[in-house]
Structure 1
């Protein structure tokens, strides 16, 4: 059920449904191709709560519905759900499927084309392949980011490790993933100190 690459959101909806049908308990972590993050908390196959872009419940569901290409990770060791949002599984799936175009009569192939991310058109200034990060540095960076954004750090770091041109640039990109400016500055300072930059 773990997704290593981005998939059209309507395919991820099927994965979430499957976890619910299996009666699973844990946390679904979703990251979109434009680095939007969401968490869906499951309790015995029921969606207990949704968090997305600092919102909860129906507002979070509306934000979640706007995602197009998504990466999913399910963690059954994280079972702490915040207060229930009062959303039924049926309401959640109807909202998500409607947003994905399935309930409005659009075929899956058309939805997939609409949901596919556009090919990047930015010119490459320097090849990321010319810069590599050793495993110890990756672990240090990811562990530090985890303090600030939680388990999403693993997914976010992997995306940025692949695109990094240098360590300072990587730190700046990752600091941009932390919504709170004070925390982002603390993260930046902490890593610059740990990496002696």
Structure 2
């Protein structure tokens, strides 16, 4: 997993280059400083897929070049699929650094720790259910939302957090299913 502080876009691309040079296979999950999900999929050091929010492949490229920065996590896995519409890895890496990016704003002040602001049981339930819809990036998304200083002292605030996290799924039917599954598990008083 990456450093807790956000990396600038160019630093993330340096990390991506290192993963490619090491011939890694897996997915580099990124949560941008704008709070959007992005992914680079690698097979043997070659970029064989990428997504930004709901955009995939070449459609995602313009957005992969312009986000300011973010946090990342790399998950090793065997990758079978490849997007034939993508340019070569060398071309992609060159395209990704062709435009200057803005500096990453310092993260907002945080409460002492996520664990103090959110009970472990609630955090684990949210993360587990979200993983059913988003896979391994769920932990990173939860971490981002909780790092925003959510003080979940009331059931209403927890429900708001669940609503906000559900919006990351990007499919209204799946968002509704996520909330239907999660809210009863949280056992929130009315």
TM-score per shorter chain, which class? 0.7 to 0.9
Structure 2 counterparts to residues 90-129 of structure 1, below 5 A: 90-99=90-99, 101=100, 114-117=102-105
After TM superposition, the structure 1 = structure 2 runs for residues 131-170 of structure 1, keeping only pairs within 5 Å, are 132-162=117-147, 163-166=149-152, 167-170=158-161
Count of residues paired in the alignment: 182
Tell me the SS of whatever aligns to 1:98: coil
Following TM superposition, by how much is the alpha carbon of 1:2 offset from its aligned partner in structure 2, in angstroms?
2.8
**Structure 1 position 165, deviation (Å):** 2.3
Alpha-carbon contact 1:128-1:165 (below 8 Å) kept: no
1:4-15 matched pairs, under 5 angstroms: 4-15=4-15
Deviation track 1:150-187 (CA, whole Å, cap 9, x = no partner) reads 21111010122232222222212212222111221221
CA–CA distance in structure 1, aligned partners of residues 113 and 134 of structure 2:
25
Please give the residue correspondences for 1:58-77 in structure 2 after superposition, counting only pairs within 5 Å: 58-77=58-77
Pick closer, same or farther for the CA change 1:54–1:176 going to 2, 3 Å.
closer
- Measure, in 2, the Cα distance between the counterparts of 1:20 and 1:185: 37
- The runs of 5 or more residues in structure 1 that have no matched partner are 102-110, 122-126
Once residues 134 and 60 of structure 1 are traced to their aligned partners in structure 2, the CA distance between those partners, rounded to angstroms, is: 36
Partner of 1:180: 171
Counterpart mapping for 1:23-38 below 5 A: 23-38=23-38
Say if 1:56 and 1:85, in contact at 8 Å, map to a contact too.
Answer: no
Match of residue 194 from structure 1: 185
Contact 2:118 2:151 in 1 (8 A): no
**Deviation of the 1:46 alpha carbon:** 0.9
Match of 1:18 in 2: 18
Contact 2:40 2:47 in 1 (8 A): yes
Distance 1:78 1:168 in 2: 36
- For residue 156 of structure 1, give the secondary structure of its aligned residue in structure 2: helix
Unaligned residue ranges in structure 2 (runs of 5+):
153-157
Residue equivalent to 1:105? none
